[in-house]
Amino acid sequence: MPSGAVTAEGSSADGGTARRATDLSQRDWLEVGQALLKREGLRGLKLRRLADALGSSTGSFYHHFRDFDGYHAALAAYFAGAQIDPLLARLAASRRSPVGRIRAFADHVRKHDLATLALAMRAWAKSDPRAAAAIRDHDERVMAFLGEQLVKHGFDTVEAAIRAYALLAAGLGEVHAPAGMDGAVLREGLLTLLCER
């Protein structure tokens, strides 16, 4: 048994005690679920795996979620709103220029590997209407933010919407970079191409 794994009695294999339900928040369960989803896809979302990753008992899970179906619904909703809304609001209120806000968003996405999460969510959405609705909501929020910044930068609303779509699509792209091209150079080139007049 791996170090830190939790036994059925609530103690960990290395002699520690499992975290109680009150030690964990619903967000803790959602964050670890996203990490597993990014690494392994939907098949990685198993209750025992989630509990082990948190050093908790499965009983703690039921303190926050009615059942695993409810957990899936909460995980989709978290991706669509609670996770992205504060970031977009913070960036929109910042003193950065409109393009600076877009760059800060792109940096956040890269730093937290959110494109991998979005791709995992899109794969899940093929078999779950809740995940599909979450993807639509997420995309609408992100494109609205990007479009608003591009309008502030001087593009008309139609061109801003097209560029916002292209930015989101490029960020999710799984196309390999041209041979020998540095990823940072490519990202900067795309941002410049799509954001500058």
pLDDT tens digit string along 98-140?
999 999 999 999 999 999 999 999 999 999 999 999 999 999 9
Same domain, 32 and 97: no
pLDDT of 12 higher than 70: no
Residue that finishes a domain, picked among 14, 42, 65: 65
pTM: 0.82
Same domain, 129 and 160: yes
Same domain, 55 and 27: yes
Q: 125 near 111, Cβ under 8 Å?
A: no
Same domain, 6 and 96: no
Check which CATH number belongs to the domain holding 26 and give it: 1.10.10.60
Same domain, 86 and 125: yes
Same domain, 156 and 187: yes
Name the residue with higher pLDDT: 182 or 47.
Answer: 47
**pLDDT tens digit sequence for 64-98:** 999 999 999 999 999 998 889 999 999 999 999 99
Same domain, 60 and 111: no
Provide the token pair at 120. 């995992």
Q: 33 near 25, Cβ under 8 Å?
A: no
Q: 103 near 191, Cβ under 8 Å?
A: yes
Same domain, 53 and 26: yes
Same domain, 116 and 52: no
Same domain, 61 and 83: no
pLDDT of 183 higher than 50: yes
**pLDDT on residue 21:** 47
* Cα 129 from Cα 80, distance rounded (Å): 13
Taking residues 42-56, report their average pLDDT.
92
Name the residue with higher pLDDT: 159 or 22.
Answer: 159
Owning domain of residue 173: 79-195
Q: How confident is the model at residue 59 (pLDDT cuts 50, 70, 90)?
A: confident
